[in-house]
Structure 1
């Protein structure tokens, strides 16, 4: 029982985090569109779900606090409270406090009750006293106004619902409390609850941990069906729930309400044949049915109450408009299960490659046909499995709106964040590890890039700066761009600061583009003083390392006075890639195909020619790296080598290899601790014959060759027998 309770709490925590992210997104959109009723409904539903599930799984402090926020947005939804700046400031603070309560529930820390009380008090002050039900003045029912009874409904604005709630006996095991759900229904309006005891066993057979009761509820409320179903949102799989509209004040109909027999037949409590058989006795129907044992007395009482209530309500009518909320369903799968599935698919791809190689060696047409079919199926399974891991990058973009909103206020700047391409999909692992680098980039854009409103106005720019965060597919990569319309980067000033901070020697001169690249150097910062935002020289170097750890690269482009653009290139997935297999000194290596531009033949250079390190490729001068020398490979080189032209760090380089084998579907395996820091190597894969091939880190190779051109630094030839 304890393990089930822990699982329920863990499920709530995970769901609450998703709801808080959805809540923040909806609030930021509501700030831009305060009259959008759908956004108000999204905020209300998120709060209602957090409150309901929190109460169900024992997070009472979260449920109690969220109730006040939900109440305010219920008034907003009904048009009683406007969407004001004060409300838009309080609600994100409420969201943050709920997140803090969630953290405290996990860590065991004590929450800040003083802060909670201040938020709650401010929220309650937004609700007009006259709008509360408790302070409403009773009126005469015959005049078309509300009756004096506290639970009597208001005829012109109320509909009557019949709710049958029949939980499975084991519902208590899930942590749900049926009585709490009935209390939630009562909060929606005047409710009459009719319990049914027919399935309660005798005392000797009673199992106290099971629920043997079920209920009929007659509810008169302004709520729509979606609001009623929200009450049972978390027990839909553990109960039979039937909700029917039995009277609608929006529809004017002077006809008498259904007869008692019609109600019972509609409920399914009695068949038409039984009804007609009993009616032949010509006695009051309710008494006849009870005496005949067809239906228990309490069910007749519930039906009579429904009949009487609807007759009373229909004394006065008015029309009103309501909205019905449609909700979809999804299945939540643990990330560890997806990771395990991808690993299995990777192993299947390796086995498929081994079978393919064995089939070609045997030259068996029948076996080759089966292998081709297996290859097709494994490719489809690979694409489908990787597609499951793909998430729209907009899930990450949405949280940055809050960052820009709060940081621009802290810096005293007016900045608008524009997001584009949020539907672009990327592997979930890449998205998870991308958050911190993007935060660094956005903070730099706001602090160093976008000017203050007065400075922008003096320069003829709009007082409000713009930061654009966009994503798009480009071949096998995703391009993420952070662009601002700020002051840009002055390469002269960057060079001066780099000399001052000791990043480069005082006498070093660099071209403008290389000077701007110095912002990625460790310890570099253009800030004049240390603040909460910047000035400590930690940031862009961390960004570059993080992006390169994802097998990506970052590019910088800036114009003084116009703005700066950072472009991050990332692979779609970190699990399985397409690669180009090459041979160097008898060993196999894989070059990620997204870096490869073309291949060409190259005559082995003489000792004199070898110093030039350049080739003329159709009139273009392309520098190259001989992997034989870099990897210190033994054995004679072939007379005709091949050059694989790659794109690295925005430039074209050639990688000279012995032979190009061909494309290879590469399942990435991480290297062991001994080999994981070898420069120029990013991982390993297993070939069809069971041997290992190392995956080359193209930007790392180019940087390695550029850093040590004279000393001839070499990467030791890999021992392919282990280490992965």
Structure 2
């Protein structure tokens, strides 16, 4: 049995903490007085510092300590939160990520510069002499805790916890030994002590809980308020086996009896129940490496293919064999659906990354930008999410640089000072549509066309539709920027978008209104692994049409086929739908069947009919990638293995609909 690398586990947890810190800082930027966000950022910094020190990331722990100290002052009211402080800590978060990925001395000068900026930001607040906050009211707490028997063997020092409690205020510490074995069986490395601490502090209960943040899951802890009583301050008596304490350190001793409302210490019999509860909480989620999900998806795909072969063989077997085949088909279908759900992640995990990007772009360009996200709960295959990150970065940067105007330009044109970029996602007929929309100046079609002609991308005076003109922005090397900047001008970003979306078997729609803004929609399949398909025959070959794109099936007789020669349209409920004869497109060289079928497919509002010889039925399609020799064949998006071992090609409905539209346009011109 292999065990996970503890350093890699720490890096994974650190990445989550850094993401929480970034989200908290960006939220705090909109409301600098939000105490909950300040506390949340502080706790995340505190956890990251402690975990880093535990796993040997000393540089990370030392650097994070400075940011934690600043936020500790902010939450105590000693320093007011400002945009500059939050911005520097946001920059510090990026440096922490580097220290997690590659801890080395070469990063020390960069860290020192960031800390100097942080110190200046704090001093600027102090020099402004903000109003001194009122001293928080002190409260009395009784803290009872005991650690697991193997705590010291695992590196936990209870004396450090006691010191942290003393730092919060004045305390009286009492030690107890509820179970102490005889000397002949006593293990010196075992811990048998429990502690009761009476603490008076101005800090909230959450600050006391933070002391035990690294050991809370394995220990027994009870924190209860003490009723108001008379207290006297006395020098603390050192606890048994405790380190020496300075004589001047004073702690609290309570003269009044302990109120009945204070919970009694947890009895030994309650420990198993508490352990079971913790175990149940831990079992609610399990961290699984992504590559294991990919391997499991491959196995499920092979199972689906094997089940398809079994169903074909069982068709010629007895009733019992067919019954077993049906059971396996049902189970494999349920396993497939469960596996697909495991691979799906909300698109909000992708959208969350762009809050920081927009924040940085606003500071870099001097523009006021508002980011709006919609449909964050829409779920997409994790592989699709990973591959969409870079294209969306290019599109958002392009919207900010080319689309949004400066605050002065927007006010002059009667718009709000803040430009808006909207990221939205929704599902529609087996695909997810991700839209990037801005309310900027829009795309200048004449300028795009002139640039394309001067670059030789199109011939002068070439007849292009509006969508074809807008699609020119995705050509390699195309850019309308007047100068090269850090954001754009080299003509490589939009080309990357086009290549990535094509590789995902998706499509891009562009719309724009001059002076009002632009909208770019990415239509992506929900998954890249297994789909429900409609198996059809054209000539001697079999093909799969994604079932999510199929609207309906019609019969096309030989007489109707002959009558439609030259116009390729069918009348469908008072509307004309263009259709493509796949037999002609694939050049099968065979005669059509007497009764052909028309499969009407759609992508959004556009529809086209596909003429096939036979509709075989539905098919669970395991998508296999095409070879590199066929990567430029736009008609097919992949292949699948049928039950008899033969290969069927999967039709790319987006390109087929585009071909149908082109055919319709040519017919109109000819007419």
8 Å contact 1:523–1:537 — kept in the other structure? Answer: yes
What secondary structure, in the 3-state scheme, does the structure 1 residue paired with 2:487 have?
coil
Once the 2 structures are TM-superposed, how far is the Cα of residue 553 of structure 1 from its aligned partner? 1.5
375, 378, 394: which one pairs with 1:424?
378
Structure 2 residue runs of 5 or longer lacking an equivalent are: 233-238, 243-249, 259-280, 665-671
Once the 2 structures are TM-superposed, how far is the Cα of residue 443 of structure 1 from its aligned partner? 0.9
- Determine whether 1:169 maps to 2:150: yes
Whole-angstrom distance in 2 between the partners of 1:83 and 1:515:
49
8 Å contact 2:171–2:251 — kept in the other structure? Answer: no
- Determine whether 1:115 maps to 2:113: yes
What secondary structure, in the 3-state scheme, does the structure 2 residue paired with 1:17 have?
helix
Partner of 1:233: 213
Once the 2 structures are TM-superposed, how far is the Cα of residue 670 of structure 1 from its aligned partner? 3.0
Whole-angstrom distance in 2 between the partners of 1:642 and 1:427:
33
8 Å contact 1:468–1:483 — kept in the other structure? Answer: yes
Whole-angstrom distance in 1 between the partners of 2:588 and 2:499:
29
Q: In the superposition, relative to structure 1, how do residues 399 and 661 fare at CA in structure 2: closer, same or farther (>3 Å)? A: same
8 Å contact 1:685–1:694 — kept in the other structure? Answer: yes
Residues 124-145 of structure 1: per-residue CA shift (max 9 Å, x gap): 537869x9xxxx9xxxxxxxxx
Q: In the superposition, relative to structure 1, how do residues 159 and 102 fare at CA in structure 2: closer, same or farther (>3 Å)? A: same
Once the 2 structures are TM-superposed, how far is the Cα of residue 177 of structure 1 from its aligned partner? 5.6
Report 1:365-514 matches (<5 A). 366-514=320-468
Report 1:531-550 matches (<5 A). 531-550=485-504
Once the 2 structures are TM-superposed, how far is the Cα of residue 355 of structure 1 from its aligned partner? 3.5
What secondary structure, in the 3-state scheme, does the structure 1 residue paired with 2:102 have?
helix
8 Å contact 1:338–1:389 — kept in the other structure? Answer: yes
What secondary structure, in the 3-state scheme, does the structure 1 residue paired with 2:36 have?
helix
582, 588, 593: which one pairs with 1:638?
593
- Determine whether 1:310 maps to 2:254: yes
Q: In the superposition, relative to structure 1, how do residues 190 and 59 fare at CA in structure 2: closer, same or farther (>3 Å)? A: farther
- Determine whether 1:341 maps to 2:296: yes
Partner of 1:18: 16
What secondary structure, in the 3-state scheme, does the structure 2 residue paired with 1:100 have?
helix
Report 1:149-298 matches (<5 A). 157-169=138-150, 172=153, 180-190=160-170, 210=189, 212=191, 214=193, 216=195, 218=197, 220=199, 221-237=201-217, 239-245=218-224, 247-248=225-226, 251-252=227-228
Whole-angstrom distance in 2 between the partners of 1:535 and 1:634:
50
Structure 1 residue runs of 5 or longer lacking an equivalent are: 137-145, 147-153, 258-295, 300-305, 315-326, 710-724
Whole-angstrom distance in 1 between the partners of 2:169 and 2:559:
89
Residues 318-347 of structure 1: per-residue CA shift (max 9 Å, x gap): xxxxxxxxx997432221222223333333
Q: In the superposition, relative to structure 1, how do residues 106 and 180 fare at CA in structure 2: closer, same or farther (>3 Å)? A: farther
What secondary structure, in the 3-state scheme, does the structure 1 residue paired with 2:81 have?
coil
What secondary structure, in the 3-state scheme, does the structure 1 residue paired with 2:103 have?
helix
Once the 2 structures are TM-superposed, how far is the Cα of residue 452 of structure 1 from its aligned partner? 1.5
Residues 423-450 of structure 1: per-residue CA shift (max 9 Å, x gap): 2222221111111111111111111111
8 Å contact 2:11–2:101 — kept in the other structure? Answer: no
Partner of 1:287: none
Partner of 2:317: 362
| TM-score relative to the length of structure 2 | 0.81
Q: In the superposition, relative to structure 1, how do residues 542 and 50 fare at CA in structure 2: closer, same or farther (>3 Å)? A: same
What secondary structure, in the 3-state scheme, does the structure 2 residue paired with 1:167 have?
coil
8 Å contact 1:56–1:177 — kept in the other structure? Answer: no
Whole-angstrom distance in 2 between the partners of 1:171 and 1:358:
63
8 Å contact 1:81–1:126 — kept in the other structure? Answer: no
Q: In the superposition, relative to structure 1, how do residues 347 and 219 fare at CA in structure 2: closer, same or farther (>3 Å)? A: farther
| TM-score relative to the length of structure 1 | 0.76
Partner of 2:667: none
- Determine whether 1:560 maps to 2:514: yes
Whole-angstrom distance in 2 between the partners of 1:241 and 1:707:
71
Partner of 1:617: 571
Q: In the superposition, relative to structure 1, how do residues 681 and 509 fare at CA in structure 2: closer, same or farther (>3 Å)? A: closer
